[in-house]
Amino acid sequence: AQRVTQPEKLLSVFKGAPVELKCNYSYSGSPELFWYVQYSRQRLQLLLRHISRESIKGFTADLNKGETSFHLKKPFAQEEDSAMYYCALRHDYGQNFVFGPGTRLSVLP
Amino acid sequence: KAGVTQTPRYLIKTRGQQVTLSCSPISGHRSVSWYQQTPGQGLQFLFEYFSETQRNKGNFPGRFSGRQFSNSRSEMNVSTLELGDSALYLCASSYGGAAQETQYFGPGTRLLVL
């Protein structure tokens, strides 16, 4: 069965420190992975997707099929990065996503 | 463009009742997906509609149903409400539902079942 795990419920780092939010998945097919973010009192929104190999707001994520991981990284965390982050896997076709439980990132001044 | 809108924003019902939630996608978007978010289960996919047809369905009982109209607006219905149906219901829209498209989420409807 398709499954996405995010082992950390809460991650606290200091401003300027590197941050890595972990995501592991289980999927029998060819996965499409995404990171979504929800800032305080805002809607859930797409941060980045692995097929685009993009860097958004300084965040990057690399799909590692061998380790079935899609960790989100940023070299220097900013206070405005504090938010809830969800890793998601899209399977089949259309917009059918499996979301992880989320990690709350808190960037301390 | 106006974002995805959902009505009502808050709803209180009692067990056994039924409820209908509405979602208006971004203009031009034809794919609408519904999700249930609870503290215990997180975000779970309910179903997706595209051009008035259900294209994907999650693992929810038949009490959960939906439909999409010709203008792409979508409704979801929950019959015989149970306490466990208390949740935030999110809808999201995209143009055609392809992987490279961005899915835009609405603010959600918070349902409380007493």
| Residue-wise pLDDT tens digits, B34-91 | 999 999 889 999 999 999 999 888 999 999 999 999 999 999 999 999 999 999 999 9
Q: Which two tokens stand for residue A36?
A: 């979504």
Q: Residues of chain A whose C-beta is under 8 A from some C-beta in B?
A: 32, 43-46, 49, 51-52, 86, 90, 92-102
Chain B residue with minimal CA distance to A95? B97
Between CA B11 and CA B13 the distance in angstroms is: 7
Distances (CA, A) of B105 to A43, A78, B25, B31, B91: 6, 25, 9, 12, 6
What one-letter code names the amino acid at A88? A
| Cβ-defined contact of B42 to A99 (cutoff 8 Å) | yes
| Residue-wise pLDDT tens digits, B18-29 | 999 999 999 999
For A39, list phi and psi in degrees, rounded to 5: -80, 160
Peptide bond into B39 cis (omega under 30): no
* Average pLDDT value for residue range A73-95: 89
B42 contact A CB<8A: yes
Concatenated DSSP letters of B48-61:
EEETTEEEEE-S--
* Average pLDDT value for residue range A70-95: 90
Residues of B whose CB is below 8 A from A37: none
- Grade residue A96 by pLDDT with cuts at 50, 70 and 90: confident
What one-letter code names the amino acid at A73? K
Instruction: Tell me how close the Cα of B39 comes to any Cα of chain A, in angstroms.
Output: 9
| Cβ-defined contact of A44 to B105 (cutoff 8 Å) | yes
- Grade residue A32 by pLDDT with cuts at 50, 70 and 90: confident
| Cβ-defined contact of B106 to A96 (cutoff 8 Å) | no
Q: Which two tokens stand for residue A60?
A: 């990057």
Instruction: Tell me how close the Cα of B28 comes to any Cα of chain A, in angstroms.
Output: 16
Q: Residue B108 pLDDT > 70, yes or no?
A: yes
Between CA B101 and CA B96 the distance in angstroms is: 8
Instruction: Tell me how close the Cα of B58 comes to any Cα of chain A, in angstroms.
Output: 8
- Grade residue B2 by pLDDT with cuts at 50, 70 and 90: confident
| Cβ-defined contact of B45 to A92 (cutoff 8 Å) | no
B43 contact A CB<8A: yes
Distances (CA, A) of B39 to A101, B44, B63, B68, B87: 9, 11, 21, 28, 8
